[in-house]
Amino acid sequence: EDQVTQSPEALRLQEGESSSLNCSYTVSGLRGLFWYRQDPGKGPEFLFTLYSAGEEKEKERLKATLTKKESFLHITAPKPEDSATYLCAVRPVNNDMRFGAGTRLTVKP
Amino acid sequence: DADVTQTPRNRITKTGKRIMLECSQTKGHDRMYWYRQDPGLGLQLIYYSFDVKDINKGEISDGYSVSRQAQAKFSLSLESAIPNQTALYFCATSHPPSDTQYFGPGTRLTVL
C-alpha cells in the first residue's frame, strides 16, 4: 500500500536555528515527490517536485532532497515568516497522489 | 486574480441538507480534483476529473458526487450532509504531463 509519513508532527525553532523535516514513503513505483507549504486558512502552495534519488532542489532558505525511501526538507537559518505547515506528497506510478499529515513549523523571533 | 477560486469560503449547514461547493480555474488546466482535509490527517482525494467527460472516484467518495460543467468548472455536492463531513475542502488543478497540483483557497464546511 502506498503510504507517506511525515515527522515530526510539530517543530519549534528559534530564528536562525537550522533543522530538517522528514518525509518517509513506501510506493510500488515513484513518479514524483512533492513539497507544499500551507499557511493557516489557505490552500497548499507548491514548493518543489523531486523525481529521482539523489535529486536536490533549493528555494531561498529551503532545500529538498530525495532518497529511495525518504525526502528531507532542510531549512537553513529560518525566519518567523517560514512558520507554516509543510506537506509532503507522493505520486505513485499506478495510483493517485498521497499526502502526508504535515509538519507544523513554528519559528520564534 | 486567483487562478483557482472556490465558493463559498465558509458554510454552516444542518444534517440532511444538500450542499454544493464550486471550483473555478483560469489556469487552462485539464485535470481537476476535490480533497478534504481533517486535523491531523493528510489531504484525502474525493473525486477527480481528467477532462469534461472523465470523472473518477477517489479514496473517500461515499456521500459525495461531482459535476464537471466545463473545463474550468468542477462542483462537489453533498447530497445529504452529515456531521462527520465537517472539514476543509480543497479544489486543485493540474495539467499533463506534469503531476504538480495547484490548490484553491479552500471551503470550511461545518455540518451541525
Tens-digit pLDDT string for chain B (112 aa): 569 999 999 999 999 999 999 999 999 999 999 999 998 888 999 999 999 999 999 999 999 999 999 999 999 999 999 999 999 999 999 999 999 999 999 999 999 9
pLDDT in the model for residue A38 = 97
Q: What's the pLDDT score for residue A95?
A: 86
User: CB-side exposure of B108: number of CA atoms within 13 Å?
Assistant: 5
Q: What is the mean pLDDT of chain A?
A: 96
Q: Check pLDDT > 60 for residue A94.
A: yes
Q: A43 and B90: CB-CB below 8 Å?
A: yes
pLDDT (mean) for A59-70: 96
**A100 close to B (CB below 8 A):** yes
CA A31 to chain B, closest CA, distance in angstroms equals: 8
Q: Which residues contact A40 (CB under 8 A, 6 or more apart)?
A: none
- Identify the pLDDT of residue B41: 85
Reported as a single tens digit per residue, the pLDDT across A2-25 is 899 999 999 999 999 999 999 999
Strands (E), A27-96: 30-38, 45-50, 56-59, 62-66, 70-75, 84-92
Give me the residue label for grid cell 500500500. A1
A68 touching B, CB under 8 A? Answer: no
The pLDDT of residue B88 = 97
Q: What is the mean pLDDT of residues A31-40?
A: 96
Hey, which residues does B34 pair with through a beta bridge?
Answer: B47, B91
| Residue B106 to residue A87, Cβ atoms within 8 A | no
CB contacts, 8 Å: A43 with chain B: 4, 90, 92, 103-106
d(CA B92, CA B74): 10
Q: Which residues of B touch A (CB under 8 A)?
A: 4, 35, 40-45, 48, 58-59, 90, 92, 99-106
Which of B103, B107, B108 is the mutation pick for testing A, counting most A CBs within 10 A?
B103
Per-residue model confidence (pLDDT) at position B1: 56
Q: Which residue has the cell 532532497?
A: A65
Interface contact A42-B41, CB threshold 8 A: no
